[in-house]
Amino acid sequence: MKKQFIDQLKAGDSLGDVFALSEKNLLRKKDGEPYLNVTLSDRTGTLKGVAWDNVAEIRDAVSSGDIVFVTGRVSEYRGSLQAVVADMKAASPYDRDPADFLPATDKDIEAMFSRLKKVLSAIETPHFKRLLDAFFEDEDFAPVFKAAPAAKSMHHAYIGGLLEHTLSMCLLIDKIGRHYAGINTDLLLVGAALHDIGKIREFEWTTRIDYSDKGRLVGHIIMGCAMIDERIARAGDFPEKDAVLLRHMVAAHHGSREFGSPEPPKTLEALLLHMVDDMDAKMNGVREFIMKQDPDESWTPYHRLLERHFYVPES
């Protein structure tokens, strides 16, 4: 049974437990000698590490994605914890409880799924309702959607994260969309519900959350549009104009070509969807970042992606 979890480790601790090997890269020092950079993970977080010794043995014994038994120690390097790996080998099958290695939402998945369907039941347009049923009433799609993460690391990066993110967006949009004139609220809600469905194919989550080959080569936006087209073809009597508007919302929800969208938002619905998506992702990501930091500190460490420290007032 796993006893050491990453969020409990501190500098000076000895390592002797199982972790998921998320990444393994062979590098060379200035003198040409090889070493390994690794990333270990469990359900509580990730830990960067380095192996200076037994490099060839470790390289040949384990692969990224394996559950491994690690011995070594925890040190501090440039203000962050680091594993200094003495040895690493494939873990015994008896030490591989998946619940130890994959972070999961702390919310009730079935309750969230029921609430999502309740919010979407307000949609009145018949062809939109048929399209949503083609996804969320599908016994093959629904279980995967409920389990999928929404990202590898930045936001909702845990089991159930995609459902949690989708529900949050639909709840926000159900309120915000009615505030502005000229919004097709049915179209907007359908876009919110389906904007990230390609992520069930973009990611893999067994012992770690990572990109699938298709995810790296194609991406969830293109795969999501293809999945919508597949269901539209089976739904019957779906106006082409609405199909185009829905595809545009999915294609534009990252906001710009710089961030992966083939086109920027060019309709009110697409613009609002992008802004709510960006808000929900950033709020979740920053909140998770703050929760992992020292509760006695008023400022977090530097957030590299958002390029700032965050102030944490006393509660």
Task: Determine contact, residues 223/201, Cβ cutoff 8 Å.
Answer: yes
Find the distance separating the first CA and the last CA of the chain, reported in whole Å.
Answer: 36
Task: Determine contact, residues 37/23, Cβ cutoff 8 Å.
Answer: yes
Average model confidence (pLDDT) for the chain? 93
Q: Where are the beta strands (DSSP E) in 203-266?
A: 203-205, 209-211
How far is the CA of 27 from the CAs of 38, 65, 295, in angstroms?
Answer: 11, 19, 36
DSSP designation for 99: G
How many Å apart are CA 185 and CA 271, to the nearest integer? 13
Of the chain, the percentage scoring pLDDT greater than 90 comes to 76
**Model pLDDT, residue 237:** 87
Q: What is the token pair recorded at 116?
A: 């999502």
Residue 210 has pLDDT above 80, yes or no: yes
Residue 189, judged by CB atoms within 10 A of its CB (0-12, 13-18, 19+), counts as: buried
Looking at residues 23-32, what average pLDDT do you find? 92
**Model pLDDT, residue 101:** 86
Could you report the per-residue pLDDT of 164-174, keeping only the tens digit for each?
999 999 999 99
Could you report the per-residue pLDDT of 229-273, keeping only the tens digit for each?
999 998 778 999 999 999 999 999 999 999 999 999 999 999 999
Q: Which of 180, 145, 165, 193 is nearest to 280 (CA)?
A: 165
Could you report the per-residue pLDDT of 70-123, keeping only the tens digit for each?
999 999 998 889 999 999 999 877 767 777 888 889 999 999 999 999 999 999
Q: Which of 219, 217, 172, 227 is nearest to 194 (CA)?
A: 227
Domain coordinates in residue numbering, the chain: 6-98, 102-290
**Model pLDDT, residue 65:** 85
**Model pLDDT, residue 248:** 98
Q: Does domain 6-98 have CATH number 2.40.50.140?
A: yes
**Model pLDDT, residue 100:** 87
Could you report the per-residue pLDDT of 38-69, keeping only the tens digit for each?
999 998 888 999 999 999 999 999 998 899 99
Residue 315 has pLDDT above 80, yes or no: no
How many Å apart are CA 214 and CA 192, to the nearest integer? 23
**Model pLDDT, residue 80:** 87
**Model pLDDT, residue 236:** 78
